[in-house]
Amino acid sequence: MTRFDKITGRLPKRRSVASLLYRVLFIVAVFVVQGLALPFVTVLPSIPLILPLAAVDTAMFEGGFRGAATGLLTGALCDVAMNRPIALFAVLLTLVCLIVGVLSETVVARGFAPYFLVCAGTLLVCALAQMFTLLFFDGVPSGELFAEAVSQTAVSLPFTAPVYFALSKTPGRER
């Protein structure tokens, strides 16, 4: 904040266009990896879900409004990557990112450890949301679905570090 801003009471512009552009390009790159590369990795027991990690990072370090907007974008891209109608992840990630953004502005500390825990919770919620129709409409046993949800979460969690450190280079990011 400059001296003039202190005198006039104006707040400085929080983020620049470069920050927004960097995050959008990063999310598109993660979408390409999610949709084109990860489904063909047969070594892992489940397909990792990495798009929500970028949305949670934006929510934690940019706030509730930008987090919700990023959640909507990444949720829609996640639905497209998983060949679903654009609804489930778009709505789910918008709500999760709004809550995470508001909590990070008020209660939750900003750093890697809280980010990791929030990502673990978000991935588990996303995995549970994916199995909703299978559990209630298709009659798949719940034990198998919960095992798959835990497996997908465990396989996705190692990607939190690369996403966190790649987005830590965002211009103007609060640490």
Domain boundaries, the chain: 17-167
Residue 9 has what pLDDT? 53
pLDDT averaged per 10 residues in sequence order, the chain, 175 residues: 51 64 89 87 83 90 87 90 82 93 87 92 89 75 83 91 86 61
CB atoms within 10 A of CB 98: 19
From residue 71, give the alpha-carbon distance in Å to each of 46, 58, 60, 63.
23, 9, 12, 12
**What is the C-alpha separation between 53 and 42, in angstroms, rounded?**
21
Residue 4 has what pLDDT? 46
**What is the C-alpha separation between 62 and 74, in angstroms, rounded?**
15
| CA 150, chain centre distance (Å) | 18
Which has the closest alpha carbon to 123: 163, 86, 84, 87? Answer: 163
Residue 83 has what pLDDT? 79
> 17-167, what's its fold?
Arp2/3 complex 21 kDa subunit ARPC3 (1.10.1760)
Kindly state the tokens that stand for 75: 């949720």
Cβ neighbours for 22, distance < 8 A, ≥ 6 positions apart? 169, 170, 171
Which has the closest alpha carbon to 101: 50, 74, 61, 141? Answer: 61
Residue 11 has what pLDDT? 45
Instruction: Give the gyration radius of the chain's Cα atoms.
Output: 17
